[in-house]
Amino acid sequence: MRHYWHDGHHTAWTWIVPGIITLLVGLVLVGVLVLLWRALAGRGTPAAGAPPHWQGDGAGPPAAVPPAAAPPTPEQVLAHRLASGEIDVDEYRHRLAALHGGAPPPMPPRPPE
């Protein structure tokens, strides 16, 4: 017959630690199974009678992407340059007339400074 130092009696730790380890292993196993199920669930084909926007993940149809803004017209570029102070009113009129194919209006004389 064997003789143990604890004389055959178990302490609380001999029950608590294995119980905690068993619980943790079970939780990890359940977590792995859930992740595996979620990864494989999105790969199937839509079920019969599923709506046409079925994506497999329940997200529905993708959000509409707004169209890209059109580039500014030459007139808008000129107006922006005038507003920002890059060109003055006379140069704006001169360039606008050139864009429209007409002869630029005569430049008015500048007032004396």
Give the tens place of pLDDT for each residue, 61-83: 556 677 888 899 889 999 999 99
pLDDT at residue 51, as a whole number:
59
The structure's pTM equals 0.34
pLDDT at residue 98, as a whole number:
87
pLDDT at residue 43, as a whole number:
64
Do residues 41 and 56 lie in contact, with contact meaning Cβ atoms separated by under 8 Å?
yes
Mean pLDDT, rounded, for 97-111: 72
- The secondary structure of 11-55 as a DSSP string is -THHHHHHHHHHHHHHHHHHHHHHHHHHHHHTTSPPPTT--TT--
Report how far residue 80's alpha carbon sits from residue 72's, in angstroms, rounded to the nearest whole number: 10
Q: pLDDT grade, residue 87 (50/70/90)? A: very high
Is residue 96's pLDDT more than 70?
Answer: yes
Is residue 11's pLDDT more than 80?
Answer: no
Do residues 89 and 82 lie in contact, with contact meaning Cβ atoms separated by under 8 Å?
yes
pLDDT at residue 53, as a whole number:
52
pLDDT at residue 14, as a whole number:
78
Buried b (16+ CB within 10 A) or exposed e, 33-42: eeeeeeeeee
Q: pLDDT grade, residue 29 (50/70/90)? A: very high
Work out the mean pLDDT of the chain and round it to a whole number. Answer: 78
